[in-house]
Chains A and B, each alone.
Chain A
Amino acid sequence: MTALARRAFQPGELRRRAAAGDVKLWASLLILVWAAVFMIWQGLGFAISIGSVFAIWAILAVSLNLVVGYAGLLSVGHIGFFGIGAYAAAILTSNASYEQLRTEAIPTFAWPFFAALPVSIALVGVAAVVVGVVLNRFRDDIYVLVSFGFAIIAFNVFLNGRGLTRGAFGVHQIARPAIGGWELTGELEFLILLLVFLALTVAVSWLIVTSSFGRVLTAIREDEQAIEVFGYRATHYKLAIWVISAMLAGLAGALFASWTSFIDPNSFILLESVLLVSIVILGGLASIWGSLLGAMAFVLLEEGMRFLPFLPAEYVGQARQAVLGILLVLLMLFRPQGLVGRYRL
C-alpha cells in the first residue's frame, strides 16, 4: 500500500473526510451499510446468493474498468468474452454420459473444472487478440460501435453454433469444481471460491494499475499521441490490457457457468454488456474500489427491488432496468465521474 493510501485509511483522516462531506467516503459507507443491513434482514442463504452474484459482476466490472477506466477505451463487447469463457468451460467439463441422452449432443471432454479453467481463459485470450487487433484500428465512437458489433457476433455464434453450444437449448449440468475428491456443491463453498478469484482479480488489477505499465495506460487515456512521442507503442499497450481484461472476463464466465450449472445465449445478450458498462460508470472510472462498489450497488438494487411491496413481480425486471437507467442519467448530470471515480466518461 502506498504512503498516500495508508494516510487515506487512518482513522483521523477518515473522520476528517466524513466531516467534510467527502462523497466518495459517504457513498462507500452507504453501500456497505446497505449491503450489511440487507443481508442480515434476508438471512444467510440470501446473503450467500447475493454474494455470489456480486463476486461474478465484480470480477467483470474490475476487468472492464481496466479497459474503459484506465485506458479510456469504451467497449460494450465485454459480454462476448464472458460468454466465450462460460461456453469454453461448459464444453470442456461437459459430461459424455449425460450428453448421450441429448438429441443435439455437443462435443464432450469431461475435464475437471480446474483443468478446464486455464484453457478456457487461454481461449478467451486468443479470441481477444483477434478482436483487439481489429479494434486497435479504431478510436472513439467507431471503437464503441465495433465493440458493439463484436457483442452481437458473439451472441449469434452462441445462438447459432448449435453443434458447439446447443443454441437456444443451452448447456446443462455444468460441472462444479472439485478439489481432490471434494466437490464444491455447497453454495457457501462456491461463494468462498468466487471471493478467492475476486481477490486474485483485484490483486492482479491493482498490480497492473500501480505499475509503470498502468501509468502508461493512464497516459494513453489522456494523450495517445504524446505517449508515442515518448517512445511507447500505444497500440501494443492497448492490446495488452484488452487481452488481460478479456481473460479476466473469461474467468468470470467460467465461474458463472459452473455456479449456475446452466448457460444459454440469453445470459450473454448486449443488454448485459450495457449493464456492465453502467456498473463501471456507476462505481467510477479508473477505480478498482469503484468497480466493487458499483457491482455491489447494482446487485443490491437488482435483488432489493424484489421486495418492494407495491411492485408486481412481473414488472420487477423492467423496473430494475428503468431505475438503473434513471440512476445513470442522474449520475451523468450531477456526478459524471461516478461514485468514487477519477475521470469523467
Chain B
Amino acid sequence: MNAPDDRNGAMLLELVDVSVSYGPVRALNEISLGVRKGEVVAVMGPNGAGKSTVLKAVMGLAPVVGGAVIWRGRPLAAATHEIVKQGIAFVPQGRRVFTHLTIQENLEMGCLYLNDHAEKQRRLQTVLDLFPVLHQKRRDLASQMSGGQQQMLALGRGLMAGPDVLLLDEPTLGLAPIVVKEVFANVAKISHTLETTIMVVEHNIKGVLDIVDRAYVLNMGRVVHDGTPDSIRETDILTRVFLGKVDGEP
C-alpha cells in the first residue's frame, strides 16, 4: 500500500450522520464514515446492511433525509451528473458496461464531457497501459468480453474520469474465485500506480481485507465497527454480524 502524507489527516470524502430512507424503510441511520487521501477503505456487511446505499448517497442516487456528504471539507450538493466532474467516479454494481459499444468507446464514455482531446488521449493511454488486455481488445464489443474483463473495463471507465476518489460497488459480484483475485489485484494496482483514493463496498471479506487500509463494518444501516484489517481480524465482529448476533447498535 502506498502511504501518502496525509493518510492520518482530514477526510477527503466523508459522510456525517447521513440517513437514507426509501419510503418507510430506513436504509442508513445517521451513519458516519469517510476516506482520507490515498487510502483504500472497505465498507462491509451482510445483505441489506446498507453498503451500496452508502455509495449511492454520495452519488445522489439515494434519497438522503438527514446528515451531509462532505467533499474536501464542504457539503457535496451537486446533482448526480455533476459529481464526476468534481473528482468522484462511481463504478456501479454489476459492471454495467455498454455492451453495444466497443471497449475503447466504453472507456471514452468515462470522460466524453471533457473538451481537452489531448487529456482524453492521455487518460486512455494510462488505462490501456494499466490493463493490457483492454488494449489488445479495444476494438471488440464489450459484450464479447468475459465477466472479469468487463469488470476491468468498468474500472478503467471509472478511471477515465480522472477521479480523486473511486467508488467501487461490489466489484467481485458474480465472478469466479480466480477472477475475484484478479479484480482485487487490479484495485491494489490502481491504488499503487495512480495513487487514487478508493472506497470499495464488498461482500468478499477475506479478499478485500488483504488490500485495504481500513474497513467499516455495517449492520442494519449503522456502522458497528471500524478499524484496520488486522484489528477486524482480531475480533469476532464479522462472524457476529453475518450470523445475526449484532443488531444495529454500535
A229 and B112 contact, CB distance less than 8 A: no
A66 to chain B, nearest CB (A): 16
Also in contact, A233 and B81, with CB within 8 A (given A215-B109, A219-B109): yes
Please report A residues at the B interface, Cβ cutoff 8 Å: 212, 215-216, 218-219, 221-223, 225-234, 286, 342-343
Cα of A218 to Cα of B82 in the assembled complex, Å: 21
What 5 A-B pairs come out closest when comparing CB atoms?
Answer: A231-B84, A226-B96, A228-B80, A231-B113, A219-B98
| B90 in contact with A216 (CB, 8 Å) | no
Residues of A near B30 (CB, < 8 A) are: none
The closest CB in chain B to the CB of A4 belongs to B139
Task: Provide the residues of chain A in CB contact with B80, threshold 8 Å.
Answer: 228-229
B67 at the interface (CB under 8 A from A): no
- Chain B interfacial positions (CB closer than 8 Å to A): 59, 61, 79-85, 90, 92, 96, 98-101, 105, 108-110, 112-113, 157, 161
Least Cβ–Cβ distance between A288 and chain B, in angstroms? 15
Contact B92 A229 (CB under 8 A): yes
Question: For residue A231, which residues in chain B have a CB less than 8 angstroms away from its CB?
Answer: 81-85, 112-113, 161
CB <8 Å contact, A222 and B109: no
Contact B98 A218 (CB under 8 A): yes
Q: Which of B90, B92, B100, B112 contacts A232 (CB 8 A)?
A: B112
Hey, which chain A residues are within 8 Å of B61, CB to CB? 225, 229
* Docked-complex contact A230 and B109, CB < 8 angstroms: yes
Q: How far is the CA of A342 from the CA of B101 in the complex (A)?
A: 11
Besides A226-B92, A228-B80, 17 other A-B contacts (C-beta < 8 A): A215-B108, A215-B109, A216-B109, A218-B101, A219-B109, A222-B99, A223-B98, A229-B61, A229-B80, A230-B157, A230-B161, A231-B81, A231-B84, A231-B113, A232-B112, A233-B81, A286-B100
**Minimal Cβ-Cβ distance residue in B for A221:** B100
Shortest Cβ gap from B132 to chain A (Å): 22
Chain B neighbourhood of A232, CB < 8 A: 81, 112-113
Label chain A's interface by main secondary structure.
helix
Complex Cα gap A334–B80 (Å): 40
Once the chains are docked, how many angstroms separate the CA of A225 from the CA of B82?
A: 13
From A222, A234, A342, A343, give the contact of B98 (CB < 8 A). Answer: A222
In the assembled complex, the CB of B168 is this many whole angstroms from the nearest CB of chain A, namely 12
Task: Name, among A223, A227, A229, the residue most crowded by chain B CB atoms within 10 Å (CB to CB).
Answer: A229
Nearest-neighbour CB distance to chain B for A112, whole angstroms, equals 41
The answer to whether B59 and A229 touch across the interface, beta carbons within 8 angstroms, is yes
Structural contact, A230 and B98, CB atoms closer than 8 A: no
CB of B196, distance to nearest CB on chain A (Å): 17
Complex CA–CA separation, A229 to B86 (angstroms): 12
Question: Contact: B101 with A215, CB < 8 Å?
Answer: yes
* Interface pair A342/B100, CB less than 8 Å apart: yes
Given contacts A228-B80, A229-B80, A229-B84, are A216 and B112 in contact (CB under 8 A)?
yes
Chain A's nearest CB lies how many Å from the CB of B91?
Answer: 9
A222 engages B100 (CB within 8 Å): yes
Name the residue among B83, B98, B101 with the largest chain A CB count within 10 angstroms. B98
CA distance in complex: A215, B107 (Å): 12
> What's the minimum C-beta distance from B22 to chain A, rounded to whole angstroms?
15
Q: Smallest Cβ distance from A178 to chain B, in angstroms?
A: 44
**A7 → chain B, closest Cβ, in Å?**
12
- Residues on B with beta carbons closer than 8 Å to the beta carbon of A342: 100
Task: Give 20 CB contacts A-B under 8 Å.
Answer: A216-B109, A218-B98, A218-B100, A219-B101, A221-B100, A222-B98, A222-B100, A225-B92, A229-B59, A229-B61, A229-B90, A230-B84, A230-B109, A230-B110, A230-B157, A230-B161, A231-B82, A231-B83, A231-B84, A233-B79
CA–CA, A212 and B81, complex, Å: 17
Minimum CB–CB distance from A205 to chain B (whole Å) comes to 17
Q: Using Cβ atoms and an 8 Å threshold, which residues of chain B touch A228?
A: 80-81
Minimum CB–CB distance from B96 to chain A (whole Å) comes to 5
* Residue of A216, A230, A343 with highest tally of chain B CB at under 10 A: A230
Complex alpha-carbon distance, A268 and B90, angstroms: 46
Decide if B99 touches A215 in the complex (CB within 8 Å).
no
**Contacts of A216 on B, CB cut-off 8 Å?**
109, 112
- Least distance between A238 CB and chain B CB atoms (Å): 13
- Determine how close the nearest CB of chain B comes to the CB of A285; give it in whole angstroms: 11
Minimum CB–CB distance from A92 to chain B (whole Å) comes to 39
The minimal Cβ–Cβ distance linking A202 to chain B, given in whole angstroms, is 21
Cβ-defined contact, B108 with A212, below 8 A? yes
A343 to chain B, nearest CB (A): 7
Residues of B within 8 A of A229 (CB): 59, 61, 80-81, 83-84, 90, 92
Structural contact, A215 and B59, CB atoms closer than 8 A? no
Which residues from chain A contact B90 at a C-beta distance below 8 Å?
229
In whole angstroms, how far apart are the Cα atoms of A225 and B79 in the complex? 12
Bound state CA distance, A218 and B101, in angstroms?
Answer: 8
Among B59, B82, B100, B161, chain A packs the most CB atoms within 10 A around the CB of: B100
Q: Select which of A215, A286, A343 is within 8 A of B105 by beta carbon.
A: A215
